[in-house]
């Protein structure tokens, strides 16, 4: 059994109530929730939240009833991994053993169904502890990411011998993207953080990788989602 999970905390300082705001005629959470509910490889769906409004919405859409998220998992500092662990434990009380745990960040609504399918297929083919969506980063610590030294002078963050003179010559680095995660439940139960086990990337295009964390992000994602709708992708 593969469980689809969405975490949607009530509090958001950058964009208040962003998870439940309307974007192109739908609650932001529904752009992701619809994808889980419609996906042939997802057997059951759960919404983890501390918001009674969002929780009632998730139940009405067909989500499992696991109760509101505990207060200690609803703070600004609460980690994603602990939220997943709590949701998995509550789900398995109802479903029995789970074979896969799929999480979608609802603030990353630009994913397409093939992103979910591709990540699940990679998980099944490679048997890692976790598949994490990533995109190739535009900024690179070996080339154009900088920090200051003790004197305040700028330096390349991770200089290599001989220096890197072009982005193409630098080692490839990735941005952690919240489009989709697929986890082995055994790993989720035993680990304490994201990168303790074998975590492999599922690459997605930069154009689908954006996350809503600020009013500017909202405007950009809303524009790009509108393009997807106009192109018949949504």
- All domains of the chain, ordered by start, with CATH? 2-135+175-230 (3.90.550.10), 138-172 (no CATH)
Q: What is the pLDDT of residue 144?
A: 87
How many C-beta neighbours within 10 Å does residue 79 have? 13
Contact (CB, 8 A) for 104 and 32: yes
Please, what sign has the CA dihedral across residues 114, 117, 123, 124? negative
140-153: average pLDDT: 91
Calculate ∠ Cα 116-118-119, nearest 5°: 65
For the chain, percent of residues with pLDDT exceeding 70:
100
The model's pLDDT over 36-51, given as tens digits with 9 standing for 90+, comes to 999 999 999 999 999 9
Q: Of 110, 105, 107, 106, nearest to 231 (Cα)?
A: 110
Distance between CA atoms of 181 and 105, rounded to whole angstroms?
9
| Residue 74's pLDDT band (cuts 50, 70, 90) | confident
What are the pLDDT digits (tens) for 79-137? 889 999 999 999 999 999 999 999 999 999 999 999 999 999 999 999 999 999 999 99
């Amino acid at each position: 059994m593969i469980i689809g999970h969405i975490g949607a905390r009530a509090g958001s300082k950058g964009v208040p109530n962003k998870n439940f705001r309307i974007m192109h005629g739908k609650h932001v959470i529904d752009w992701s929730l619809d994808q889980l509910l419609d996906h042939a490889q997802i057997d059951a769906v759960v919404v983890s939240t501390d918001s009674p409004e969002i929780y009632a919405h998730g139940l009405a859409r067909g989500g499992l009833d696991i109760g509101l998220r505990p207060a200690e998992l609803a703070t600004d500092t609460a980690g994603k991994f602990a939220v997943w662990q709590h949701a998995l434990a509550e789900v398995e009380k109802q479903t029995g053993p789970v074979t896969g745990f799929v999480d979608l960040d609802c603030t990353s609504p630009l994913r397409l169904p093939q992103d979910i399918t591709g990540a699940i297929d990679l998980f099944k083919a490679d048997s890692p502890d976790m598949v994490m969506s990533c995109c190739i980063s535009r900024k690179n610590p070996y080339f154009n990411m900088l920090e200051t030294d003790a004197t305040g002078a700028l330096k390349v963050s991770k200089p290599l011998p001989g220096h890197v003179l072009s982005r193409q010559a630098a080692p490839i680095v990735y941005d952690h993207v919240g489009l989709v995660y697929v986890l082995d439940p055994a790993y989720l139960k035993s680990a304490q953080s994201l990168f303790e086990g074998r975590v492999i990337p599922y690459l997605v295009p930069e154009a689908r990788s954006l996350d809503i964390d600020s009013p500017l992000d909202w405007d950009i994602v809303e524009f790009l989602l509108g393009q997807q709708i106009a192109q018949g992708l949504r």
